[in-house]
Structure 1
Amino acid sequence: MSHISRYKTQFVEKRYLLAALRDMGFEPEEGDLKVQSVRGEELAVEIRVQPRLSYPIGFRKTKGVYEIVADWFGVMGVKPEEFKRQLAQRYAYHAAREQLEAQGFALVEESNEAGQIRLLLRRIG
């Protein structure tokens, strides 16, 4: 039985995913990569991040959306649910900002309190 878990996401845009990973302190690698399990199993991925002193976390696009793949038994210092929640929040942040700025809005103020991001935007006349 494989130790590599797959989590479906709603992430479709690579640029937002990469930006979200960088916000979280990771340096994402791109290309024909693999993630490995503690048992030595390998799975091909398009994006990979390497938590410190840990097995990697990967992302691969399946049916138009990215899925998170990792052997969480070997991933140290990263809790799966917290990782997914924070990644989804940062992904949504970048998607919203880019789409609003494309509609003529400019960021005036930003705050992050108790895990909630608040943006104040104004339309440029």
Structure 2
Amino acid sequence: MSHISRLKTRFVEKRYLLEALRDLGYEPEEGDLEIHSVRGKRTAVEIRIQPPLSYPIGFRKVKGAYEIVADWFGVMGVRPREFKQQLAQRYAYHAARDQLEAQGFTLVEETNEAGQIHLLLRRIG
């Protein structure tokens, strides 16, 4: 059985979401778009990515946050839970850097060890 599923997120800023998707190697499309299920059901989305040899994954804003929508039976090579976790990590990275740079901090060093990102920032004042 195939159907379009929704995964709720806490992604509220479109620009961080787009940057996170690009970090994961996707080229997001924006606009009045649709995704479709294996059985042809269509759903409107604002952002869409196309994994290789797969059905698309979409994002739409509902009650202030983006949700992930896809027919996971047709999405190949992407596991919903892992995808959401990777996307959340990259989203948080961009949000944190942006907020800290707005407060006058400058990135000095960045390391990524065992899936954990460590940032060394400095503020001269």
The verdict on a shared fold, with TM-score over 0.5 as the criterion, is yes
Q: Which runs of 4+ in 1 moved over 3 A?
A: none
2:90 equivalent to 1:90: yes
Task: Flag structure 2 segments of 5+ consecutive residues without an equivalent.
Answer: none
Aligned-pair CA distance for 1:2 = 6.4
CA-atom RMSD in angstroms: 1.0
* Distance in 2, Cα, partners of 1:56 & 1:47: 10
* Distance in 1, Cα, partners of 2:47 & 2:56: 10
- Aligned length in residues: 125
1:18 is aligned to 18
What is the letter of the counterpart of residue 97 of structure 1?
R
Secondary structure at 1:94 match in 2: helix
2:55 equivalent to 1:43: no
Identity of paired residues, percent? 82
Aligned-pair CA distance for 1:43 = 0.3
* Distance in 2, Cα, partners of 1:77 & 1:119: 30
2:103 is aligned to 103
2:63 is aligned to 63
* Distance in 2, Cα, partners of 1:10 & 1:115: 20
Task: Flag structure 1 segments of 5+ consecutive residues without an equivalent.
Answer: none
1:53 is aligned to 53
Aligned-pair CA distance for 1:56 = 0.2
Q: Which structure 2 residues correspond to residues 74-85 of structure 1 after superposition, within 5 A?
A: 74-85=74-85
What is the letter of the counterpart of residue 86 of structure 2?
Q
